[in-house]
Amino acid sequence: DRLRESKVYMRALFDYIPLEDKATPCQEAGLPFKRGDILQVVTQDDPTWWQAKRVGDSNLRAGLIPSKHFQERSLALCSPHIFCAPPSPPPLPPSGLRRSFRLSRKDRQGSSGEGSEAGDSDYLTYEEVSRYQQRGHERPRLVVLIGSLGARINELKQKVIAENPHRYAVAVPHTTRPKKPQEKEGVEYHFVAKQQFDADVLNNKFIEHGEYKENQYGTSIEAIRSVQAKNKMCLVDVQPEVGYRLRTAEFKPYIIFVKPRVPESRRRRSAATSPAGGDHARTTDEDLQEMRQSAIQIDHQYGHLVDRVLIKEDSASACSELRGILERLERETFWVPLGWVR
Ligand code: 5GP
């Protein structure tokens, strides 16, 4: 058995609590896990229940987990309860005949709704992964920073790069705004005409683009490649959905989600206790609530893609933490989707 040790590893994309699972054949035999855990799948012989161990567990007992197929099916079956409001009882009808008519029509609408919902969604179950360590001859992985409200990831990125410009760099963006005298083509920006910019947008050359004061700005795929060609680690700060699109074997992005530590209430960090205008010095309770909400929303929507969460206490400590993460990224082994290493 030892010789045939399973090589199948899955990243869990959902939390699993066997004690709350009514479908399991044996709750005590279940293996609890959390989203992001790496599971070594020992057997996939049974179509509904796999046996797996959690990587990093000192207790190496294998337990039951729902198979990918079974979990997808369970999600498909319960999605109407999660996403649709339960049908409200029809108003009391004047006659029994009308009542049954209304009910049957409502039932039909209900079931057609369920069908389309299940068919369109991509259920988050497991992602097959493999160990990966960057070798000397390979280009450095792309580092993608995503941040919730108040995280100031651009500032963080700039600071870490300024400390180590020979190792880290930004992808030089394109812009249609005129070059300032002190600026150099290809350093701050690639300066291009509007017509060229629009053509590049149409040809999908940008990973993202936007308008600011009637000028266009955008980051191109080539700009990332050219940083990597110099054997530097490229850092980009983007909207979460952009980071998602960069998840390819070529870039092997390592996605870091930066969220500010949000104090309970602004009174705890009044202007008096942070005179230098600390990150939350002038924020109101509503601002803090918005910051919390933004972090929750990103975590909910994109958390399964995040390799690392960085809780930003203040700018200096976040910088040193990010520096540490980047250094480990070049030395250590990480789990990446199987398709990236095959
Ligand atoms: P400036 O023209 O002062 O150099 O930049 C002004 C603004 O342009 C920045 O604050 C930023 O909002 C936006 N900008 C700069 N680079 C990019 C980019 O690569 N993509 C997008 N979407 N906006 C950018």
Range with top average pLDDT, 60-69, 134-143, 204-213, 269-278:
204-213
Q: Please determine whether the domains at 136-167+232-332 and 173-225 fall in the same fold group of CATH.
A: no
Q: Looking at the CA of residue 173, tell me the nearest atom of ligand 1.
A: 19
What percent of the chain is modeled with pLDDT above 70? Answer: 81
76-124 pLDDT, tens digit per residue, is 887 543 333 333 333 333 333 322 222 223 333 333 333 333 333 479 9
Q: Answer whether 242's CB lies under 8 Å from 148's CB.
A: no
Q: Answer whether 91's CB lies under 8 Å from 106's CB.
A: no
Q: Answer whether 64's CB lies under 8 Å from 73's CB.
A: no
pLDDT attached to residue 282: 72
**Whole-angstrom Cα distance, residue 246 to residue 80?**
31
Q: List the residue whose alpha carbon is closest to atom 9 of ligand 1.
A: 212
Q: Is the CB of 217 under 6 A from ligand 1?
A: yes
Q: Is the CB of 219 under 6 A from ligand 1?
A: yes
CATH number of 173-225: 3.30.63.10
For residue 139, give every residue at least 6 positions away whose Cβ sits within 8 Å of its Cβ, in sequence order, or none. 228, 229, 231
pLDDT attached to residue 266: 66
Q: List the residue whose alpha carbon is closest to atom 6 of ligand 1.
A: 212
Q: Is the CB of 173 under 6 A from ligand 1?
A: yes
- The DSSP bridge pattern shows strands 168-170 and 143-147 to be unpaired
251-300 pLDDT, tens digit per residue, is 999 999 999 999 887 665 444 444 444 555 578 899 999 999 999 999 99
Tell me, in angstroms, the distance from the centre of ligand 1 to residue 218's CA: 8
Lowest model confidence (mean pLDDT) among 53-62, 223-232, 294-303 = 53-62
Where exactly are the structural domains of the chain? Answer: 1-132, 136-167+232-332, 173-225
Q: Is the CB of 190 under 6 A from ligand 1?
A: no
Task: Considering the domain delimited by 136-167+232-332, tell me its CATH architecture.
Answer: 3-Layer(aba) Sandwich (3.40)
Q: Is the CB of 218 under 6 A from ligand 1?
A: yes
1-132, which class in CATH? mainly beta
Q: Go through 10-19 and write b for each residue having 16 or more CB atoms within 10 A of its CB, e for each that does not.
A: bbbbbebebe
**Mean predicted lDDT score pLDDT of the chain:** 85
